[in-house]
Structure 1
Amino acid sequence: MSETANVWKEWTFKACDENNWIPAKVPGCVHMDLYHNGIIPNPFYGKNESELQWIDKKDWEYQCFFDVPEELKASLHLELVFDGLDTYADVYVNDRHILSADNMFRSWRVDVKQWLTECDNKLSVHFRSPIHEDLPKLERLGYGLPASNDQSDVGGLVDKKISVFARKAPYHYGWDWGPRFVTSGIWREVRLEGWTECRITDVYIRQDEVTPVLAKLTAVLEIEVTEAWEGSLHVLTEGLSWTRKVNLVSGINHVELNMSIDQPRLWWCRGLGEPDLYSFKVELIGTRGSAAQKSIRTGLRTIKLVTNQDDEGTSFYIELNGVAVFAKGANHIPNDSFLTEVTYETYRHEIATAAASNMNMLRVWGGGIYEQDMFYELCDEYGLLVWQDFMFACSMYPGDEVFLLNVKLEAEENIKRLRNYACIALWCGNNEMDTAWSHYDEQAGWGWKKLYSSEQRERIWHDYEQIFHMILPEAVNRWAPDISYWPSSPMCGLKGNEDQHAHQNSSSGDIHYWGVWHSVEPFEKYNEHVGRFMSEYGFQSFPEYESVKTYAEETDMALESEVMLAHQKHKRGNQLIKEYMDIYMREPKDFPSFLYMSQVLQAEAMKTAIEAHRRRKPYCMGSLYWQMNDCWPVASWAGMDYYGRWKALQYYARRSFSDVLLSVDDTDESRLDVYIISDFRFPIHGTLRIELLNFSGDVIWCCVGPVEVDALSGVKALSVNKEELLAGNDETSVLLVVQLETDGTVIGSCEHYLVPFKEMKLADPTIQITEVEGSGGTRFVLETDTLAKQVRLSTSIEGIFDDNYFDLLPNRPKTVTFMARSAGRTPFDFSAPAQLEICSMIDCVTRHTKDLKNSMA
């Protein structure tokens, strides 16, 4: 049997050129240890980022002392295991050098038994500056490699972009939403492992064939033994068991055991079924009883990427258990610039938020990290598919032998670590590199290749192909053969000619559409540029006012203040928000109002995009906006800010991603088309009600009729001539209300306006709030005397409402429930929100003295 122990006494650290040892936290990182010891200020506050760039230019050393526990002393092997070292590290045990690390994404283990004593062993980890380590690599190469988001200037390196040489989280070097903090530290668990006879080093529950009738599985084991060993292998799950005899030789052994489960419970993503999971216990039993054991949890499913030729190009969708899934979700980035600050509760809040927002997929983007196990465990539990990038993004990388071997070992380890998670739907080679370089089209790309000689270009592309067309697909095929591989996002397909590279009107592969935002195209362009799978698109906003106050003073509350610009990593971000606001909205009355309106602007943009994508189902089969979360408090594309506070976008996404969506398309000047899109696996038979109301709530026109929608499909339920619909009424003072009802229950609804907000003739609403009796202050009924646009509820307690940033219609009371954020067993619980505050859009654009804190009736 093997034993594991955390044996470390107090950790301390220091700069290598200093003598003063100070307390450290492990897992942890230099920046946070300096901060917690009061040596540096809060890195996220004000303009502190620029003042802390000296940290990555130093070497740092961590040390602690430890005794060998009684339960480990008798072990034949005693291994020191690091699950993660960030990044260039030399490790010493009792002043003996035992390993050198050079990859943040790999684990490291060494048998140290021969060098240990019973008491007061010393463990030292010396971290070399990633800056000083990698600058010589740039010098040796002789030319720089493209790395668009490497903020070398912030780090005092001018144009020397060295992030590409380190197998380290790319976003640490800065991004257009994140700061430049190039960290060092023991960022994952370190422990002692002891074993003597044998141990199970890896278990893979390979899913050979899975149907609702029968699951054919193979337990694939890697077993290490010290000498020849005979015994039996047992696998158990839920009352079922399988056994075989094994004869193992000294060293590493590979053993397989075939298994089958009748009538298996399948794992489904959210919205299509339950995310059922099985726990498998694997045990080796010898003459002296149990010799080794390991447990694995997984879900049984078949999953693949389908890219078939059709009349319009090539499909691109995930098929789960034979069902074509319309992917709904967002791109995930690391939850913190300092990874060891991320807790289980942080992950759970994000995953619970995604599920509550009717998402079924998150894309783990390639500029961050291969996430912690708890992230994937939560995705398994909540039924969220994961599009998993390898950690390469927006750069071109070197191709020397040492680098390629490092990548190969990194890929093997992470695929093996993650392959039992049911949520893993796709492995993708990199983010945006194929389209950025566009090797086969001289006029396409980001202009990178034009900076190099023909010889350099061929070498750079050769190195690219080595990694993304050879090493990574071979690794996926070998270690996780049931999961598809996609070389780069976006891409049309691996064609070896100019048809390989994606563009905004591609009819094959996936698309990142950034015409809205980067090219300042109007929101309406989202209706035109719809591809087979929209894996990136986005629009920025500021976080909540309470979040902004964590990094700025009242004197900084201006769009172009130095602090606001320091917390805006896009070159023109703040101005782009203002430009779009001028197009679609009225002028905000003050800075807090600007923050609120920026969120509504972002939410309206993403609503336009998401609904355009879903209306094109099944041509389009995925909509993943940029981005789910933030790594620090900042103006960004996120729907949920650094503190987990939901922006307007998160509430809008919850509605636009609903399993049954009602959406009105008005791209045709003469008519309105009403769509019903269903992600249910059963048909819908219901009644569709469409009403034209004025802003006082009077019904001007009404149409009611039966509708049928097939399972997993969408229909254009009605087309209405705009002129006939208006019948002379003022389009600036009316709205369309659409509802779908089945068995007396409304299962979908939406409002649609005929003009942009800035053209609407809105009156001041009087909103009444009444607490629902017996709800303990968690449920409220809202009523208004005239249309109230984008009603926002807020409270001093951290939590969410079941709806927010909604339009409140006169004569149509709305009940809203508050759920407090919880650190307990569930992500949210029902707690009274204390003082409730409410405002609507008109409060933020007009200049009057109306109190925004309406009192509860």
Structure 2
Amino acid sequence: MKDVTRLHEGWSLRHEDALLPAQVPGCVHTDLLAAGVIPDPFLGLNETETAWVGRRSWSYETELTAADGGHERSELVFEGLDTAAEVLVDGESLGATRNMHRTHRFDVTGRAGRLEVRFDSAYDEAERVRALTGDRPNVYPEPFQYIRKMACSFGWDWGPTVVTAGMWRPVRIERWSTARLAEVRPLVTLDGPTGHVELRVRAARTASGTDRPLILRATVAGVVAETSFAGTETVLRLEVPEPQLWWPRGYGAQPLYGLDVDLLDEDGAPLDSWSRRIGFRTVTVDRSADEHGTGFTFVVNGTRIFARGVNWIPDDVLPSRVTPERYRARLTQAAEANIDLVRIWGGGIYEDDAFYDVCDELGLMVWQDFLFACAAYPEEQPLRGEVEAEARDNVVRLMPHPSLVLWNGNNENLWGFRDWDWEVPLAGDSWGEGYYLGILPRIVAELDPTRPYAAGSPWSGSWDHHPNDPRHGTHHSWEVWNRQDYAEYRADVPRFCAEFGWQAPSAISTLRRALPGEDLAPDSPGMLHHQKAEDGNGKLNRGIDRHFGLPEDDFDRWHYLAQVVQARAVAAGIEHWRSHWPVCAGTVVWQLNDCWPVSSWAAIDGDGHLKPLYHELRRVYADRLLSLVPTADGPVLAVDNQSGTTWRTTVTLRRVAADGTVVKEAALEVEAAARTVVRLDVPGALLPDAASAKELLVADTDGLRAVHLPVYEKEFAYPAPIYDVLVEPAGDGDSVVTVTARTIVRDLLLQADRLAPRASADRGLVTLLPGEEVRITVRGWAGDDPEAVRAALFSVGAA
């Protein structure tokens, strides 16, 4: 039987003339941090102080011991080398690698001695390739498109420039005889009530095992199948009668079946094994043309789905630090926010299997970009061969996961070619189109024909339409954040909005930790350094000023209002687009998470704190959503039911004066069938005057509330907010805060991390009418001081 030994202990990093202890998996930055050689690049302005690390060559060393188990072959396997590396034993080269996203394997049969892995600077490797292929356009002044490495290592408009090197994924020694499993591809399909698993298997053989018959045996759901074969490839088919179907969360359960594959010799002795969990389901994307344009609707098990999505970036710019536990925590947060789709963005990595395992369990659909983003990519060697090998590696690795529902060719590169002034400087040179419309769809069709492929995002389906035409395929909406008011989200109805978002700063405790000793201000040195977007603060300030007026010399107020605008902006888009289901079939917010402490579009900041946007996503992505959507003819009441049962409810509409007096009230009986939206005009008598600064419209049903103001907040005649605060212990180090309103209190927010750095509240923005109360559970703070709570409470109407 094959023997596998992890090779994680005993490594050293050579720095100057010293050998430093090294952690594997890890990277140069984590080892230098542990040794005290560099400061934390996430703190203050340290990013610039540590930039030299990415421009140096580095070497890792350990001892490779000889095998004594009687196996014919020993292989050294690296699951991830970042990035330009050479592997040597006693100074003799075993080979070189140039791709962070692949597994590399070296024959070390009979070898022992000093094992060394030398890493060239990623900058040097990228410049070497640039010299071979010629220059290409890029949205950032860094050479990431010339090296198969996590692009955002070189910085992004939400990330630092921390150019890593090292063995970022596990290293092992495999010792085997006769044959081993080199590739296992389960094609999982359904034919009526019967599940089919077609196993396509490739074996590697030793010289002595070349002509020996092999036996392949597989088991799933109690079904066993077996075949014998010569050569290196075989196919084995299993039929599972009436398997339970895997569904996205909210649509059904997520049953997973263990699939065990064993390779045996002709006498039945075990040689190798492979095990994964699979799920039975069908997935397609309906891209049919209709009177609105060209659709883009996920269809799972025959059910059409409005995708409630988020974009995912690497959870740490030092990705070796992201553990299975961290994946589970972050993805559980996504599920708890009623998210059902996670798009893995093309400037990051193919995540560890632990990521997809959790998505399988939680019913989170995964949209997987191939790793190309925001640049023209050369199609010449040496990149072309690396791209194909990388795609093959990762399609085979990830295809067992039922959560994976889409392969996507790139992020924004087809759009970039058309709109970002690339065509003239390219002058006919390759730029990646051959990957997105040629190599990648061919590989997916060959290796994983059970899943749909899209050429890119955004992409209208062909060059017959503009790549980012909202009427066709997927759309990215960035003009609103960059140049407009968030009300402009309502100007169109994209068929599928795969990116849009609004920025806000991190939680206050994150800022205090990341910027120690700084007198925080929107334009203080650390705040500006941790704001990577072009004119990011200018856009934040304009958003605040439009709706509230810009506070002067009051950072706490500015911080709160920036977070309110972020939540309001994203909600405005989702409420509008959801109300137009099924024409619009999904929204994917930019973005769920951060990779360091930064002002960004994230709902969860770099320290794991939940911004108000997170709680707003939980509201607007719930199965049942009540909205008052502004239109040119006045607000429309949208009753959106994405649940699987009919929603019969009574909606109370109230026209309310600024002092809390109810001017007019009515009740509407509404019935929304499963997976449908009901849009109703608001009766004229309930509408505040279009220019009124003293009345608002409130809709309530089943614990849901929607609020409409006919004017900007800064023009509304809010009374000074008055409310009572009660604090009670809740046990286990938590507390419950009850706020009772005596006036209208608009978008009340408890910033729990002002009470204790790791404290959190169980809800975000809340609007209360006079006499109403809200109970807020605070986890991680067992205090009982109402005045401390008052200091952590903010609302729109407060001065």
1:773 deviates by 7.3
**Which residue identity does 1:101 align to in structure 2?**
T
Q: Distance in 1 between matches of 2:774 and 2:415?
A: 47
1:814 alignment partner, SS class: strand
1:145 alignment partner, SS class: coil
**Which residue identity does 1:128 align to in structure 2?**
D
Partner of 1:147: 138
1:709 deviates by 0.9
Partner of 1:582: 545
Partner of 2:706: 750
* Residue in structure 2 matching 1:805, options 765, 778, 781: 765
Change (3 A) 1:775 1:447: same
Change (3 A) 1:808 1:343: farther
Partner of 1:155: none
Alignment check: 8 A CA contact 1:392 1:430 kept = yes
* Residue in structure 1 matching 2:594, options 630, 641, 647: 630
Partner of 1:431: 411
Give the TM-score of the pair, scaled to structure 2: 0.94
Choose 277-286 or 641-650, whichever is displaced more: 277-286
Change (3 A) 1:311 1:840: farther
* Residue in structure 2 matching 1:126, options 93, 101, 118: 118
Tell me the alpha carbon deviations over residues 827-851 of structure 1, each in whole angstroms, 9 at most, x when there is no partner: xxxx96887735687668756xxxx
1:399 alignment partner, SS class: coil
Alignment check: 8 A CA contact 2:734 2:777 kept = no
1:697 deviates by 4.3
Alignment check: 8 A CA contact 1:696 1:785 kept = no
**Which residue identity does 1:644 align to in structure 2?**
G
**Which residue identity does 1:47 align to in structure 2?**
L
Q: Distance in 2 between matches of 1:833 and 1:197?
A: 66
Partner of 2:455: 487
Q: Distance in 1 between matches of 2:730 and 2:17?
A: 65
Q: Distance in 2 between matches of 1:264 and 1:13?
A: 50
Q: Distance in 2 between matches of 1:431 and 1:729?
A: 41
Give the TM-score of the pair, scaled to structure 1: 0.88
Partner of 1:458: 428
Q: Are 1:700 and 2:663 counterparts?
A: yes
1:185-224 correspondence runs (5 A):
185-211=166-192, 213-224=193-204
Partner of 2:719: 762
Q: Distance in 2 between matches of 1:540 and 1:417?
A: 35
Alignment check: 8 A CA contact 1:234 1:241 kept = no
Q: Distance in 2 between matches of 1:558 and 1:757?
A: 23
Q: Are 1:837 and 2:777 counterparts?
A: no
1:531 deviates by 0.6
1:141 deviates by 4.1
Partner of 1:599: 563
* Residue in structure 2 matching 1:380, options 360, 366, 372: 360
Q: Are 1:737 and 2:698 counterparts?
A: yes
* Residue in structure 2 matching 1:242, options 194, 210, 224: 224
Q: Are 1:171 and 2:145 counterparts?
A: no
**Which residue identity does 1:98 align to in structure 2?**
L
Partner of 2:73: 77
**Which residue identity does 1:149 align to in structure 2?**
Y
1:172-571 correspondence runs (5 A):
172-211=153-192, 213-226=193-206, 227=209, 228-230=211-213, 232-238=215-221, 240-249=222-231, 253-286=232-265, 287-438=267-418, 445-450=419-424, 452=425, 456-460=426-430, 463-495=431-463, 497=464, 499-503=465-469, 506-519=470-483, 521-571=484-534
* Residue in structure 2 matching 1:725, options 647, 663, 686: 686
1:382 deviates by 1.1
Choose 703-712 or 183-192, whichever is displaced more: 703-712
Alignment check: 8 A CA contact 1:75 1:194 kept = yes
Change (3 A) 1:572 1:191: same
Q: Are 1:106 and 2:106 counterparts?
A: no
Tell me the alpha carbon deviations over residues 552-580 of structure 1, each in whole angstroms, 9 at most, x when there is no partner: 24544122222222111112111211111
Q: Distance in 1 between matches of 2:496 and 2:218?
A: 40
Tell me the alpha carbon deviations over residues 66-89 of structure 1, each in whole angstroms, 9 at most, x when there is no partner: 43576xx22211110000000000
Change (3 A) 1:727 1:323: closer
1:780 deviates by 4.5
Q: Distance in 2 between matches of 1:265 and 1:817?
A: 38
2:320 alignment partner, SS class: helix
**Which residue identity does 1:324 align to in structure 2?**
R
Partner of 2:14: 14
Q: Distance in 1 between matches of 2:707 and 2:748?
A: 14
2:333 alignment partner, SS class: helix
**Which residue identity does 2:253 align to in structure 1?**
E
Partner of 1:138: 130
Tell me the alpha carbon deviations over residues 27-67 of structure 1, each in whole angstroms, 9 at most, x when there is no partner: 11112211221111111122222222222221110001243
1:629 deviates by 0.9
Change (3 A) 1:135 1:719: same
Alignment check: 8 A CA contact 1:789 1:840 kept = no
Q: Distance in 1 between matches of 2:133 and 2:102?
A: 25
1:115 alignment partner, SS class: coil
1:547 deviates by 0.6
1:124 deviates by 0.6
Q: Distance in 1 between matches of 2:777 and 2:241?
A: 43
Q: Distance in 2 between matches of 1:802 and 1:210?
A: 44
2:118 alignment partner, SS class: strand
Q: Aligned residues: percent identity? A: 31
2:166 alignment partner, SS class: coil
**Which residue identity does 2:138 align to in structure 1?**
A
1:446 deviates by 1.3
Change (3 A) 1:646 1:552: same
1:494 deviates by 2.1
Partner of 1:158: none
Partner of 2:82: 86
Q: Distance in 2 between matches of 1:122 and 1:789?
A: 67
Partner of 1:684: 647
Change (3 A) 1:550 1:109: same
Choose 569-578 or 749-758, whichever is displaced more: 749-758
Q: Distance in 2 between matches of 1:147 and 1:427?
A: 23
Q: Distance in 1 between matches of 2:110 and 2:215?
A: 32
2:187 alignment partner, SS class: strand
Q: Distance in 2 between matches of 1:734 and 1:727?
A: 6
